[in-house]
Structure 1
Amino acid sequence: MTFWLIVAKGAIVVVCAALAVLAGGRVVTAVFRLAERSRATELGDDESAAQPVAPLTKAAGTLRGGQWIGMLERLAIFATLLAGFPEGLAVAMILKGFARYPELKASSTGAAERFIIGTFVSVLFACASAGLALWLIQLF
C-alpha cells in the first residue's frame, strides 16, 4: 500500500467522523423540529397555542449536556463500527441509558421522548457515516 493511499483512506475516515459528530447534531435538531411540528398538528391549533414552549424543547433543560453527549456518542459508535467492533454500539447505548436513567425516571416533561428520538437519530446517523467511510475505503 502506497503512502498516498494510506493518506487518502485516513482523510476519508477523518471527514466521515467529522460528518458523524458535527452534522449529526444538526440532523437530530431537525428531527426534533419535525416531531414538534407533527405533535402540534395532532393536538390541533387550540392546544398547541396553550403551550408556548414545546415539550421536546422544554425537555432539553432536563437533559443537560445533550449536545456534547450526542457528539461523544456518535464518535464512539463511528469508531467502534470502523474498528470492526459492532458490540461497542450496545456498550455505548447501555452506558448512556444508565447515565440518563435517573433524569428520565424523575421527569414527566417529555424528556424520555426527547431521549429516545435523539438517540435513535444520532445512532442511525453515526452508523450511516461509518458505513459510508467503510464503503469509500473499500473503493481504493
Structure 2
Amino acid sequence: MTVLSLVCLAVAALAPALALRPSMPVWPAASLSIAGLAGSALAATATTPVQGVPLAATLILTATAAITGGGPAVLVAFRIARRQPDAGPEPTPPPGPLRGGRVIGVLERGAVTASILAGWPEGIAVIMAVKGLARYPELREPNASEQFIIGTSTSVLWAVAVCGVGQALIT
C-alpha cells in the first residue's frame, strides 16, 4: 500500500503540468491532483510508517505535490468565486490587482510545507503574517482583499492537506 500511496502522491504532484499549456483548461489538472491526493490518503491509512528510501520519496513527493498542486487549486477557487451572484456581470473580469501571486504562492506553499514537515506548524502563522504585511499596501485596491483571502486560503489549505497525507505515511 505504501507504493500505491506514493504513486498517487506522484500523480498529485505531476498533474498540474497539464495546466501549463494556456489552451488547456485548469479543471482537469486540479481534478487529477485532488484524485491523486485522495487516493494517496486512502492508501496511506493502510500502511506502516515508512523508513529509508520510501521516507525520502515521501518527503520529496509531499513537498512537490504541495508546491505544484496549489496553483491549479487556486485558479479553480478564483473561477468558482467569479461565478457567484455577487461577482458582477463580467464573464471575464480583468486580471487581479495583486501582482506576482503565482510566484508568491509557490514560495508560500513551500514555506508552509517546510514548517509542517519540520514539526513547527506555528510557522504557518508567521508566513501568513509576513505575507499580509507585505501585501497590506495593495489590499485597498478593488477586489484585492478578496483575491488575497481566496488565494491565500486555498493555497495554504492545499499545502496543509498534502502535508497531512505525507504525515500519514511517515507516522
Q: How would you bin the TM-score normalised by the shorter chain? A: 0.7 to 0.9
Alignment match, 2:60 = 14
> Matches of 1:75 and 1:118 in 2, distance apart?
15
Alignment match, 1:102 = 137
Alignment match, 2:163 = 130
Shift of 1:43: 4.9
Shift of 1:65: 0.6
Shift of 1:30: 0.7
> Matches of 1:43 and 1:26 in 2, distance apart?
23
Shift of 1:6: 1.7
Shift of 1:5: 3.0
Equivalenced residue count is: 122
Cα separation, partners in 2 of 1:66 and 1:136, compared to 1, 3 Å? same
> Matches of 1:101 and 1:72 in 2, distance apart?
18
Q: Does 1:76 align with 2:122?
A: no
Structure 1 residue identity aligned to 2:130 = L
CA RMSD of aligned residues (A): 1.8
Q: Does 1:32 align with 2:78?
A: yes
Shift of 1:137: 1.3
> Matches of 1:111 and 1:58 in 2, distance apart?
11
Q: Percent identity?
A: 45
Deviations 1:49-80 (A, max 9, x none): xx3542xx532xx2111001001101100110
Unaligned runs of 5+ in 2: 1-49
Instruction: Name the one with the larger helix percent.
Output: 1
> Matches of 1:70 and 1:13 in 2, distance apart?
20
> Matches of 1:53 and 1:5 in 2, distance apart?
49
TM-score by length of structure 1 reads 0.81
Which structure ranks higher in relative contact order (CA pairs < 8 Å, sequence separation ≥ 6)? 1
Shift of 1:103: 0.7
> Matches of 1:30 and 1:36 in 2, distance apart?
10
* Ranges of 4+ aligned residues in structure 1 off by more than 4 Å: none
- Look at both structures and tell me which one has the larger radius of gyration over its CA atoms: 1
Shift of 1:25: 0.6
> Matches of 1:96 and 1:43 in 2, distance apart?
27
Deviations 1:106-139 (A, max 9, x none): x12x11101000001111111011111110112x
Structure 2 residue identity aligned to 1:129 = V
Q: Does 1:63 align with 2:98?
A: yes
Deviations 1:15-68 (A, max 9, x none): 111111001111110111111112xxx159xx61xx3542xx532xx2111001
